[in-house]
């Protein structure tokens, strides 16, 4: 079975940092794009950051660029999201996600369309107080 196990959410004050982790199992890590979506209260789910293992590219939503950093640990089949300089508007449930495809620029194509995601992890709540 494919599983994405996410962890690392919590509550911080604005300007603080959190690190999200996602451990993947049940599929070949290198054949996927993997990353994070988030869903704020009353809003739709949108892509935040992603690594495309096929062409080694990364994607960041404009709202998080320069503050968030995505990374992977191949040995652990893990993807991490380091979130710095957090803002109140970063408050959301964050979901680890994976797409099985070998396509260039896949992350940017998928980010606006959560229906294209093949695998979802459980959400982890991030709350930033101002």
| Band of residue 102 on the pLDDT scale cut at 50, 70, 90 | confident
Residue 29 has pLDDT above 80, yes or no: no
What is the C-alpha to C-alpha distance for residues 129 and 18, in angstroms, rounded to an integer?
A: 13
Residue 6 or residue 53, greater confidence: 6
| Band of residue 4 on the pLDDT scale cut at 50, 70, 90 | very high
pLDDT at 33: 94
**What's the chain look like in SS3?**
CCEEEEECCEEEECCCCEEEEEEEECCCHHHEEEEEEEECCCCCEEEEEEEECCCCEEEECCCCCCCEEEEEEHHHCEEEEEECCCCHHHCEEEEEEEEECCCCCHHHHHCCCHHHCCEEEEEEEEEEEC
**Chain-wide mean pLDDT for the chain?**
94
Residue 9 has pLDDT above 90, yes or no: yes
pLDDT at 111: 93
**Could you identify the residue written with the tokens 């993947």?**
24
pLDDT in tens, 75-89: 899 999 999 999 999
């Amino acid at each position: 079975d494919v599983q994405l196990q996410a962890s690392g959410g919590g509550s911080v004050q604005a300007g603080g940092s959190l690190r999200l982790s996602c451990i993947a199992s049940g599929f070949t890590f290198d054949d996927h794009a993997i990353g994070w979506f988030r869903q704020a209260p009353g809003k739709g789910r949108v892509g935040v950051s992603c690594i495309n293992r096929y062409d080694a590219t990364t994607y960041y939503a404009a709202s998080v660029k320069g503050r968030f950093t995505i990374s992977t640990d191949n040995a652990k089949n893990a993807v991490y999201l380091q979130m710095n300089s957090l803002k109140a508007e970063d408050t959301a449930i964050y979901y680890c996600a994976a797409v099985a495809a070998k396509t260039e620029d896949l992350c940017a194509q998928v980010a606006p369309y959560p229906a294209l995601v093949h695998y979802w992890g459980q959400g982890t709540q991030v709350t930033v107080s101002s």
